[in-house]
A and B are shown apart, each in its own frame.
Chain A
């Protein structure tokens, strides 16, 4: 089964601080995604990537940056964290460029910004 690993599992940050969430996948999938999950909103797409070196904006990219240094790794960066970014963040990978593509999710990172 597809393996997507996120770190850390839990993170507490201060307002204005920098936060980096990491994701590693061992499936050799081309596509990787960052979502946030909030009650009442389901999963919302922040950034995605079609391969090493590429990042694209999703539906709610403001306040977030992404980095894809390799096929396996995809990071989400909050340069100046705000309390509104308190959420659960999920990374996912997928093989087929958006067409009938099943997503494989990591276990999530719970971020609290104080």
Chain B
């Protein structure tokens, strides 16, 4: 049974700071990894995905994946108040099975 854990549970950072969110998973057969972002009262929306070891950058956002350590992370450069949201990591092993973490609530203070 896949176990996906996120840390920290919540985070407050000043505007302009670099933010790091973490996700660990238990199934070494996991192949697909996403970060979703959910603004308050809104639908979760896919932010970024990565399917092989290494790093992927899109604008201010970077994902790192290390399958050997069962860990992936999301880094936000120059954090903005509009980045304040619940961030959910999701891990897939194929088929329908995608397991979500419980989320990190990020608040970026102006």
Contact = CB atoms under 8 A, between A and B. Distances in A.
Asked if A and B bind, the verdict is: yes
Interface of A: 4, 31, 33, 35, 40-45, 48, 50, 56, 58, 90, 97-108
B49 A43 contact: no
Contacts, number: 59
Interface of B: 4, 31-32, 34, 36, 42-46, 49, 51, 88, 90, 92, 94-98, 100-103
Contacts of B44: 43, 90, 103, 105
B34 A43 contact: no
A106 B94 CA distance: 23
Contact of B49 (A44, A56, A102): A102
Nearest to B34: A102
Given A102-B49, A103-B90, 14 more contacts: A40-B102, A42-B103, A58-B96, A98-B96, A98-B97, A98-B98, A99-B92, A99-B94, A100-B31, A100-B32, A102-B46, A103-B98, A104-B46, A105-B44
